[in-house]
A and B are shown apart, each in its own frame.
Chain A
Amino acid sequence: MSTKKTLVVIGNGMVGQSFLASLVTSPIKDDYQIVTFCEEPRAAYDRVHLSEFFSGKTAEDLSMVEPGFFEEHGITIHIGDKASKIYRLAKTILSEKGVSISYDKLVFATGSYPFVPPVPGHDRPQCLVYRTIEDLEAMAAAAKNGKVGTVVGGGLLGLEAAKALKDLGLKTHVVQFAPRLMEMQMDDAGGAMLRRKIEELGITVHTGKNTIDITDGKHCANKMVFADGDELETDLVLFSAGIRPRDELARDCALHVGARGGIVIDNQCKTSDPDIYAIGECALWNDKIFGLVAPGYAMARTVVADLAGESASFTGADMSTKLKLMGVDVASIGDVHAKSQGALVYSYQNGDNGIYKRLVVSQDKKQLLGAVLVGDNSGYGTLLQYCLNGIELPENPDALILPHRSDESVGLGVDALPASAQICSCYDVTKGAICSAIEAGCTTMGALKTETKAATGCGGCSALLKSVMDCELARQGFEVNTDLCEHFAYTRQDLYNLMLVGEIKTFAEFVEKHGKGQGCEICKPTIGNILASYWNEHILEPEHLGLQDTNDTFLANMQKDGTYSVVPRITGGEISPDMLIALGQVGKKYKLYTKITGGQRVDLFGARVDQLPHIWKELIDAGFESGHAYGKSLRTVKSCVGSTWCRFGVDDSVGLAIELENRYKGLRSPHKIKFAVSGCTRECAEAQGKDFGIIATENGWNLYVCGNGGMKPRHADLFATGLDKDTLIKYIDRFLSFYVRTAGRLQRTSVWMENMEGGLDYLKSVIIDDKLGLGEQLEQQMQHVIDTYQCEWKTTIEDESKLKRFRHFINSDQQDDNVVFVEERGQIRPADANERKHFKLLEVA
């Protein structure tokens, strides 16, 4: 018999899981047998980033539970089972599936449910809510049969839901009862600016609308009727009109609940029964429900401390928020509506750029009480710190929101923050904790995040965390060296720009003007690559030859024994029987090992360097061209068979794949680039695992970007939807040129984007909105590469001087006796060390 006490947690949402994660780091975890009920079919996931489900994230991506967490800590989780009855006298809890547990301590983390106004017709088909992954799946299913979607509710969650509808390709409306969007966090001017920005994205906003009926539509499945007589036809209706605490189980066992719902808790998060706690959105503290995760996490920590016998209190929470809604920066801090006695208001509005900022300051102008930011969140971290830490404001507080056109910074340096300043509110990480972690050796953002958990919740503090890190590293005397190598004190991006400005065309010129020494295997290929990307000269020209990395040097992929593999281009994976036969004949003649690649091509292995030109002569005569499998360049555009043959195909994926591959073939880039095109959402081409994934929909092409397979697979992010072919190509032209210009050495598109400030949204603003005004230039840059394309192998075999190197010995026709093949499954393979010894002996004998 175990002497352990039993602790039961009802609900495994974000707060329930945060409680468990916090509990297992506490010494008291060994005192308890821990059991949790999870009504949903999967353990805790990130509801804050739920809309990303439609921009490519999967349920697994959103999971908040580290693999093996429950097993490792001996926690029993009942997934898909709901706690249904509590007998407080017997201290027993029953579940719907019949599990019965005697508990010592009980924690409610039941969360909330979406409020659906009791409008007639609210339960019609395609009238949905937005809270769980199952809700999202229902939305996706409903969206397939509709063209218009409407969100009821213009609060924070409502606007997130609107983004989800837009991502699903629906014409999107937001219907708001209040006179402005986000009425809790915005004042009138901020709400108006937000509305303008949201409408610029193609979403129609209706404010001051009271829905009184939902009935049959004429053109759409539903029609909404408003109190003022207006009507709106829509297929999908999504209610996001606030949340209500899940307190039914608490009511049932007669715990004290608030008049308008919510399980009443004290400062230790205890309910009216001292053995029962409640945390998160189901809890009512000081007559308040907290609908954000950070206060929920704070409650979870309080309960863990209380169980451990430490004195801890939940004393309310800062409800400041910062987020990006559909690419629009929005933030609110503290007393937004200037309700405090004598509060002064400063505001700044820039109609041109769509920026609005408002400060609420105490009567004596010393303290910041609140703030609203729309269109530019950059000051959020500074303002929040002023507000939370009561730091005295500068003499002219408006300087904090006025644009400063000189170099002088008016922001609050992170230096000025006390060690106790909270940097990450989700995980309650202070500046002091971050500095200690840096001192202990966490000198990158990744290491800091893993160690402290800062910026791993809502992510809102990552810019601030970066500033704290940079400042602390500088203070501790670390120097962050971004030099490419000892020969060039520049990054790849710097070198690219130097090439542009100085019109540099050779490595020698680079060394002379900006570097030193002879170069090395880092800087030579990097510069060779940059030169090829921009000028697009043949990489085996005498002045470029010595710069090329292993594979580029002989335009083939070197294998472990020094032989090469050959990959001709098979655009879109489409190949005629005759071409296939020609390929087979070459393979047979030169006794090559042949294998189908993941990119829908054929790889021919075991070619000696002297055979390469002969093999290519035959391939080119048969109509093939270089596949650039050896280069940091476009590899393949994989495709499914598409609408031409497939019963389900929506568009011609093969045709598009061939066109794209022919357009971008030969482009030298910071790393390899892969594309795929799927003809429908079944996604047989696996396009979302590629740098560029294109999927056909009824409304046009959807473009996904920055995915990859390999060591650290990453799903691509949805970049733009419903594109016609010309727009699609324009975006890819710009995207590729921008990547070539700004990525680091050997940085794939995924890492490039993840390291870019502003990430996907920034890229959208550059590529789609042409924020930097570079669009035309980027397109021209790509056009130059397209216009100067040559098959590198064709040029090579036509040039005697280039062919001279293609032999093993410069002074003999003998072959490398170290290259030995044996047969396996009817084909050749390199002999292993033992087999080689055997052959040597045979030779000697």
Chain B
Amino acid sequence: MTQGQDLCGVDGRGGKFSASTEVWRDVCDIDDLQPNSGVCALVDGQQVALFYLTPSAVCHAINNYDPFGHANVLSRGVIGDINGQPVVASPLYKQHFNLQTGVCLEDETVKIPVYAIRINNNRVEINMQESGNEL
């Protein structure tokens, strides 16, 4: 339902957080990210995989849990693109997940949470209210 909306400031879906300007969580320094690779952050008790592409400086944030391998490993996958969609490949069994929608390319019924991410004064900030979610 919220697909296509501005990734910033999504609210009002009765999630864990009430709508407020305080949805953005400070996570880490931009230097903590690994260029063209991933790291994992703990945000509000959730494991979030953060990917950082250079030189375009595009960031993506998705849930770190691999629903096929049942392990918190997606931040350790190889990133790239398939047919123009930015993806990460699971390091366990290599399924691809779209970094913008969370949809699995091999099985479209499987979808992982995707979060909005922004850089603010060299700090990485995450909006834990899932975006790209159709609930």
A and B physically associate: yes
On whether A811 and B80 interact (CB within 8 A), knowing A521-B94, A558-B91, A833-B70, the answer reads no
B76 in contact with A811 (CB, 8 Å): no
| B119 at the binding interface (Cβ < 8 Å) | no
| A757 at the binding interface (Cβ < 8 Å) | no
B76 in contact with A550 (CB, 8 Å): yes
- Interface stretch, picked from B38-46, B106-114, B127-135, is B38-46
Q: Which of A486, A804, A812, A818 is the one whose CB lies under 8 Å from B82?
A: A486
A811 in contact with B91 (CB, 8 Å): no
A517 in contact with B34 (CB, 8 Å): no
B81 in contact with A809 (CB, 8 Å): no
| A549 at the binding interface (Cβ < 8 Å) | yes
Q: Which of B47, B65, B89 is the one whose CB lies under 8 Å from A521?
A: B89
| A261 at the binding interface (Cβ < 8 Å) | no
In the complex, chain B residues whose CB is within 8 Å of the CB of A517? 80-81, 84
A518 in contact with B92 (CB, 8 Å): no
Q: Which of A519, A561, A814 is the one whose CB lies under 8 Å from B80?
A: A519
A558 in contact with B92 (CB, 8 Å): yes
A558 in contact with B81 (CB, 8 Å): no
A554 in contact with B37 (CB, 8 Å): no
| A542 at the binding interface (Cβ < 8 Å) | yes
Q: Which of A518, A814, A816 is the one whose CB lies under 8 Å from B86?
A: A518
| B79 at the binding interface (Cβ < 8 Å) | yes
B72 in contact with A546 (CB, 8 Å): no
A558 in contact with B76 (CB, 8 Å): yes
Assembly CA distance A583 to B53 (angstroms): 39
Assembly CA distance A524 to B78 (angstroms): 8
On whether A805 and B69 interact (CB within 8 A), knowing A518-B81, A558-B92, the answer reads no
Assembly CA distance A835 to B41 (angstroms): 26
* A790-814 contacts to B (CB < 8 Å): 804-805, 808-812, 814
CB distance from A830 to the nearest CB of B (A): 9
In the complex, chain A residues whose CB is within 8 Å of the CB of B70? 818, 833
CB distance from A481 to the nearest CB of B (A): 16
CB distance from B131 to the nearest CB of A (A): 21
Name which residue of chain A comes closest to B84, CB basis. Answer: A517
| A586 at the binding interface (Cβ < 8 Å) | no
Interface size class of B (residues with CB under 8 A): 35 or more
* A509-547 contacts to B (CB < 8 Å): 517-521, 523-525, 542, 545-547
Assembly CA distance A245 to B37 (angstroms): 72
On whether A520 and B80 interact (CB within 8 A), knowing A810-B40, A816-B47, the answer reads yes
B53 in contact with A518 (CB, 8 Å): yes
CB distance from A756 to the nearest CB of B (A): 28
On whether A808 and B86 interact (CB within 8 A), knowing A518-B81, A550-B92, A553-B91, the answer reads no
Q: Which of B42, B83, B86 is the one whose CB lies under 8 Å from A486?
A: B83
Assembly CA distance A2 to B100 (angstroms): 72
A562 in contact with B72 (CB, 8 Å): yes
Name which residue of chain B comes closest to A814, CB basis. Answer: B42
| B71 at the binding interface (Cβ < 8 Å) | yes
CB distance from A838 to the nearest CB of B (A): 16
| B117 at the binding interface (Cβ < 8 Å) | no
CB distance from A518 to the nearest CB of B (A): 4
In the complex, chain B residues whose CB is within 8 Å of the CB of A589? none
On whether A811 and B27 interact (CB within 8 A), knowing A550-B91, A558-B76, the answer reads yes
On whether A818 and B71 interact (CB within 8 A), knowing A520-B87, A810-B40, A811-B42, the answer reads yes
| A595 at the binding interface (Cβ < 8 Å) | no
* A457-516 contacts to B (CB < 8 Å): 486-487
In the complex, chain B residues whose CB is within 8 Å of the CB of A550? 76-77, 91-92
| A712 at the binding interface (Cβ < 8 Å) | no
B72 in contact with A545 (CB, 8 Å): no
In the complex, chain B residues whose CB is within 8 Å of the CB of A520? 78, 80-82, 87, 89
Q: Which of B41, B53, B73 is the one whose CB lies under 8 Å from A809?
A: B41
Interface 0/1 of A264-303, CB less than 8 Å to B:
0000000000000000000000000000000000000000
Assembly CA distance A487 to B71 (angstroms): 29
| A404 at the binding interface (Cβ < 8 Å) | no
CB distance from A197 to the nearest CB of B (A): 50
Assembly CA distance A486 to B50 (angstroms): 25
In the complex, chain B residues whose CB is within 8 Å of the CB of A487? 80
Name which residue of chain A comes closest to B70, CB basis. Answer: A833
In the complex, chain A residues whose CB is within 8 Å of the CB of B27? 810-811
A810 in contact with B78 (CB, 8 Å): no
| B19 at the binding interface (Cβ < 8 Å) | no
B78 in contact with A518 (CB, 8 Å): no
| A560 at the binding interface (Cβ < 8 Å) | yes
* A719-742 contacts to B (CB < 8 Å): none
| B6 at the binding interface (Cβ < 8 Å) | no
A811 in contact with B32 (CB, 8 Å): yes
CB distance from A719 to the nearest CB of B (A): 35
Assembly CA distance A92 to B79 (angstroms): 75
Question: Which of B28, B36, B41 has the most C-beta atoms of chain A within 10 angstroms of its own C-beta?
Answer: B36
In the complex, chain B residues whose CB is within 8 Å of the CB of A486? 82-83
| B35 at the binding interface (Cβ < 8 Å) | yes
A809 in contact with B35 (CB, 8 Å): no
CB distance from A580 to the nearest CB of B (A): 32
Assembly CA distance A547 to B33 (angstroms): 16
Assembly CA distance A833 to B70 (angstroms): 9
In the complex, chain A residues whose CB is within 8 Å of the CB of B87? 520
B28 in contact with A811 (CB, 8 Å): yes
A811 in contact with B41 (CB, 8 Å): yes
Assembly CA distance A112 to B81 (angstroms): 65
B42 in contact with A521 (CB, 8 Å): no
Name which residue of chain A comes closest to B38, CB basis. Answer: A546
In the complex, chain B residues whose CB is within 8 Å of the CB of A818? 65, 70-72
A545 in contact with B42 (CB, 8 Å): no
Name which residue of chain B comes closest to A830, CB basis. Answer: B71
In the complex, chain A residues whose CB is within 8 Å of the CB of B72? 562, 808, 816, 818
CB distance from A131 to the nearest CB of B (A): 52
On whether A546 and B78 interact (CB within 8 A), knowing A518-B53, A518-B86, A810-B41, the answer reads yes
Assembly CA distance A369 to B135 (angstroms): 80
Assembly CA distance A519 to B89 (angstroms): 11
In the complex, chain B residues whose CB is within 8 Å of the CB of A809? 40-42, 47
Question: Which of A523, A525, A808 has the most C-beta atoms of chain B within 10 angstroms of its own C-beta?
Answer: A808
B34 in contact with A546 (CB, 8 Å): yes
In the complex, chain A residues whose CB is within 8 Å of the CB of B94? 521
Assembly CA distance A547 to B36 (angstroms): 8
In the complex, chain A residues whose CB is within 8 Å of the CB of B50? 810
Q: Which of A519, A805, A833 is the one whose CB lies under 8 Å from B39?
A: A805
Assembly CA distance A536 to B36 (angstroms): 21
Assembly CA distance A521 to B93 (angstroms): 11
In the complex, chain A residues whose CB is within 8 Å of the CB of B81? 517-520
Assembly CA distance A548 to B34 (angstroms): 13
Assembly CA distance A486 to B105 (angstroms): 15
CB distance from B88 to the nearest CB of A (A): 9
Assembly CA distance A31 to B37 (angstroms): 69
Interface 0/1 of B45-66, CB less than 8 Å to A:
0010010010000000000010
On whether A562 and B73 interact (CB within 8 A), knowing A518-B53, A542-B35, the answer reads yes
On whether A546 and B36 interact (CB within 8 A), knowing A517-B81, A524-B80, the answer reads yes
Assembly CA distance A561 to B94 (angstroms): 15
In the complex, chain B residues whose CB is within 8 Å of the CB of A542? 35
| A/B interface sample: 15 pairs, CB < 8 A | A517-B81, A518-B79, A521-B77, A523-B80, A545-B34, A546-B78, A547-B78, A549-B78, A554-B76, A562-B92, A808-B72, A810-B28, A810-B32, A816-B72, A818-B72
For the complex of A and B, 10 pairs with smallest distance between CB atoms: A546-B36, A521-B89, A520-B80, A550-B91, A562-B71, A521-B78, A518-B81, A546-B37, A812-B42, A562-B73
Known: A562-B73, A811-B27, A818-B72. 7 other contacts (CB 8 A): A521-B89, A545-B37, A560-B71, A810-B28, A810-B41, A811-B41, A833-B70
